[in-house]
């Protein structure tokens, strides 16, 4: 660990590049060689699903690398675009009415760009309160001007919730990149990678655990696989991944990295659970990348854990360093 | 590449960014055959959505219908409809000596594909209004041209009547099986069948 921590930035980045893309390449080759075998239909569907997930990981990794190489502004723009696409999907799933038109325009074309602009300018105090305070008050005003009292509170709440998850949550990822920590200049991207990896590992851990354990689900109507024990195992897997990545983090001790991994992994998998509830509410049955009529399934599933984990992680890091 | 082509690509890109503009083809693959697409009509955005959902090489041969008095009233409107969309202009005022369908017939004789909205006007109900007779007359005059029904979903949420700026919401266009006019079928029966064919696409998943 000490050896890894003492490498220069460029050496660490080079190492990460080799490890990340080497692993991906290895998994892809194995997956490809397995397509040559004869298997049953159920296995084939599972395999198709896996291939879709793998493609998403590839796209994510390449985008991530581009944003890393291009620097803070480009990655802020990139996360902003993902935020836009996620919010588009969210709004498609919720039933908005005619009177919401102006509030939605406000959300898409004013709130979203402003939030990312504030993140890019590194004014983190304003960044933290802009959406929860100012936008929270502005949206119902614009909605009320839409002159439609029917289900007013419900509609306003949905829009606000969408902005909180898709814009506010997501914008904390580029903010991590731009956060200036002691003795950690130009390494913000490692922190984002740490977050992404920890959340992904926690998700995989929880998924595997719930398949093995077959515990009684906590909320059967929402998710058939979510149980507290599986959640705990997922968070623990995140903590282990966090500990292993200690060398790339600014935390003062390995235990700090483990604790942060636990927090990020635990909140990420809870985010996925909430997204299940949302999909059930919207009446979406197909799950995991299979397009519905409007094609509104896929991205939101994948970014939701990150949207939940990023703000929690971001503020934990700020408290940890007292900034 | 010329300016109209670039502007067209940019416009299709914007439409895709805002609505996704997904085309689902059931029963007829997107091919460069001569076709008349007919669809439900709820928003000014409908034509752009169908156009953006078509593959790029089909866009150049597929033409919309535009009201002459409105779409030639300013140089910009005229340029957009003429250069980018290659629209077929029709006049809304009826004159006795002129068949209102004549420009459409001319385009079809020329081998172009058309997109028409047989309701005639934008509706705001769940079901489309009853279809106008134009579709029947075109089917009668050009039996070899494929008639493809299309259902446009969700677009009324993107740009409700009276609004100018579209909200980003995912939409889809579902294209169905080609419809043919039976020998001796009467106008009423055919138009009802065409309307049902469009509505049936709503529940195709």
- For chain A, 323 residues long, the average pLDDT of each consecutive 10-residue run is 70 80 86 72 72 76 77 86 91 84 93 95 92 94 90 91 94 88 77 88 88 81 85 93 87 90 93 86 58 59 88 92 82
Average pLDDT over residues B48-72: 89
Choose the final residue of a domain: A178, A195, A212: A178
> Which of A70, A104, A131 represents a domain boundary (last residue)?
A70
- Whole-model pTM: value is 0.85
Q: How far is B118 from chain A (nearest CA, A)?
A: 23
What's the ipTM?
A: 0.82
- Mean pLDDT computed over B142-163: 87
Same domain for A206 and A315, yes or no, is yes
C-beta atoms of A295 and B170 within 8 A: yes
Residue B71 is predicted with a pLDDT of: 87
Report the pLDDT averaged over residues B17-23.
86
Q: Does B22 touch chain A (CB under 8 A)?
A: yes
Q: What is the pLDDT of residues A132-191, one digit of tens each?
A: 999 999 999 999 998 888 889 999 999 999 999 999 999 999 898 888 887 777 777 888
What pLDDT is attached to residue A297? Answer: 56
Find chain B residues with C-beta within 8 A of A101's C-beta.
160, 163, 167
Query: pLDDT at position A215, please?
Result: 76
Alpha-carbon distance of A66 to A171, in angstroms, equals 18
Say what the pLDDT of residue B168 is. 92
Q: Are residues A93 and A25 in the same domain?
A: no
Please judge whether A105 and B172 are an interchain contact, meaning their C-beta atoms are less than 8 angstroms apart: no
Q: How many domains does chain A have?
A: 3
pLDDT at A288: 45
Please give the pLDDT value at position A38. 62
Q: Do A108 and B168 touch (CB under 8 A)?
A: yes
pLDDT (average), residues B72-97? 86
Residue from the list A84, A91, A109 with its beta carbon closest to the beta carbon of B169: A91
B174 with A88: Cβ contact below 8 A: no
**A18 plus A109 within the same structural domain:** no
Same domain, A90 and A202: no
Same domain, A195 and A317: yes
Write the pLDDT tens digit of every residue in B97-110.
Answer: 777 888 899 999 99
Answer yes or no: do A13 and A126 share one domain: no
Nearest CA in chain B to A90: B169
Span B44-67, mean pLDDT? Answer: 89
Question: Taking the mean position of all CA atoms in its chain, how far away is CA B143?
Answer: 19
Residue B149: pLDDT above 90? yes
Percent of chain B with pLDDT over 90: 35
What does the alpha-carbon distance between residue A213 and residue A225 come to, in Å, rounded to a whole number?
A: 10
Instruction: Check whether B87 has a pLDDT greater than 50.
Output: yes
Q: Is B140 on the interface with A (CB under 8 A)?
A: no
Q: Collapsing DSSP states into helix, strand and coil, what is residue B154?
A: coil
**B86 at A interface, C-beta within 8 A:** no
What average pLDDT score do residues B18-45 get?
Answer: 87
Are residues A225 and A319 located together in one domain of the fold?
Answer: yes
SS3 string, A3-62, reads HHHCCCHHHHHHHHHHHHHHHHHHHHHHHHHHHCCCCCHHHHHHHHHHHHHHHHHHHHHH
Tell me which of A147, A178, A209 is where a domain ends.
Answer: A178
Q: Residue A268 sits in which domain range?
A: 183-323
Residue B195 phi, psi dihedral angles, 5° rounding: -65, -40
Tell me: do A248 and A321 sit in the same domain.
yes
Q: Distance, in angstroms, between A78 CA and closest chain B CA?
A: 14
Q: How far is B15 from chain A (nearest CA, A)?
A: 13
CB contact under 8 A, A109 and B163: no
* Closest CA of chain A from B154, distance in Å: 8
Mean pLDDT of B184-195: 90
Shortest distance between the Cα of A83 and any Cα of chain B, in A, equals 12
Q: Are residues A301 and A218 in the same domain?
A: yes
Instruction: Return the closest-CA partner of residue A156 out of A100, A218, A213, A108.
Output: A100
Tell whether A151 and A270 lie within a shared domain. Answer: no
Contact at CB, A101 and B160, closer than 8 angstroms: yes
Contacts of A291 in chain B (CB under 8 A): 22
Q: Which residues of A touch B (CB under 8 A)?
A: 84, 87-89, 91-92, 96, 98, 101, 104-105, 108-109, 291-296
Same domain, A200 and A323: yes
| Res A314: pLDDT | 93
Residues above pLDDT 90, as percent of chain A: 35
Per the CB < 8 A criterion, the answer to whether A131 and A56 are in contact is: no
Q: What is the pLDDT of residue A64?
A: 76
Smallest Cβ distance to B153: which of A89, A98, A294? A294
Q: Are residues A109 and A37 in the same domain?
A: no
Residue B156: closest C-alpha in chain A: A98
Min distance A287 CA to chain B CA atoms (Å): 14
Mean pLDDT of the region B27-50: 88
Question: What domains does chain B contain, in order, with CATH numbers?
Answer: 3-203 (3.40.1130.10)
Is pLDDT of B61 > 70?
A: yes
β-pairing verdict for B62-67 and B88-90: parallel
Would the pLDDT of B116 be above 50? yes
Cα(A231)–Cα(A228) distance, integer angstroms: 5
In sign, the C-alpha dihedral spanning A277, A280, A285, A291 is negative
Alpha helices in A179-253 (DSSP H): 188-213, 228-244
Rounded to whole angstroms, what are the CA distances from B125 to A69, A137, B129? 51, 33, 8
């Amino acid at each position: 660990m000490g050896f890894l921590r003492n490498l220069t930035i460029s050496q660490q980045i080079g190492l990460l590049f080799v490890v990340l893309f080497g692993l991906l390449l290895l998994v892809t080759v194995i997956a490809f060689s397995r397509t040559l075998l004869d298997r049953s239909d159920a296995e084939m569907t599972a395999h198709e699903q896996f291939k879709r997930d793998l493609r998403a990981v590839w796209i994510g990794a390449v985008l991530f690398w581009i944003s890393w190489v291009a620097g803070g502004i480009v990655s802020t723009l990139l996360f902003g675009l993902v935020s836009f696409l996620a919010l588009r999907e969210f709004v498609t799933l919720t039933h908005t009415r005619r009177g919401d038109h102006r509030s939605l325009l406000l959300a898409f074309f004013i709130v979203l760009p402003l939030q990312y602009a504030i993140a890019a300018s590194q004014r983190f105090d304003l960044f933290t309160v802009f959406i929860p305070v100012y936008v929270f008050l502005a949206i119902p005003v614009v909605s009320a001007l839409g002159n439609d009292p029917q289900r007013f509170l419900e509609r306003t709440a949905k829009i606000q919730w969408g902005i909180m998850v898709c814009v506010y949550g997501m914008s904390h990822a580029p903010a991590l990149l731009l956060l200036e920590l002691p003795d950690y200049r130009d390494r913000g991207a490692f922190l984002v990678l740490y977050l992404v990896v920890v959340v992904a590992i926690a998700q995989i851990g929880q998924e595997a655990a719930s398949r093995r354990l077959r515990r009684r689900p906590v909320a059967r109507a929402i998710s058939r696989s979510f149980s507290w024990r599986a959640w705990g195992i997922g968070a623990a897997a995140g903590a282990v991944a966090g500990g292993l990545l200690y060398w790339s983090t600014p935390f003062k001790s390995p235990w700090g990295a483990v604790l942060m991994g636990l927090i990020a992994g635990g909140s990420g998998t809870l985010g996925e659970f909430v997204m299940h509830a949302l999909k059930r509410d919207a009446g979406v049955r197909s799950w995991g990348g299979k397009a519905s009529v409007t094609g509104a399934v896929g991205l939101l599933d994948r970014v939701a854990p990150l949207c939940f984990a990023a703000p929690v992680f971001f503020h934990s890091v700020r408290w940890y360093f007292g900034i | 590449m010329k300016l109209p082509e670039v502007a067209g690509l940019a416009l299709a890109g914007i439409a895709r960014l805002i609505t996704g503009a997904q085309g689902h083809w059931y029963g007829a693959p997107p091919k460069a055959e001569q076709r008349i697409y007919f669809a439900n009509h709820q928003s000014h955005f409908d034509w752009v959505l169908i156009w953006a959902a078509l593959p790029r090489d089909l866009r150049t041969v597929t033409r919309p219908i535009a009201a002459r008095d409105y779409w030639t009233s300013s140089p910009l409107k005229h340029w957009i409809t003429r250069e980018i969309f290659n629209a077929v202009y029709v006049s809304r005022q009826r004159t006795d000596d002129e068949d209102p369908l004549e420009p459409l017939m001319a385009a079809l004789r020329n081998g172009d594909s058309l997109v028409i909205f047989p309701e005639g006007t934008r509706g705001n109900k769940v079901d489309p209004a009853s279809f106008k007779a134009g579709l029947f007359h075109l089917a009668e005059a050009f039996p070899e041209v494929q008639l493809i029904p299309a259902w446009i979903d969700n677009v009324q949420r993107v740009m409700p009547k009276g609004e100018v700026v579209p909200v980003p919401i995912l939409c889809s266009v579902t294209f169905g099986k080609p419809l043919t006019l039976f020998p001796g079928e009467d106008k009423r029966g055919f138009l009802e069948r065409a309307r049902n064919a469009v509505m049936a696409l709503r529940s195709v998943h």
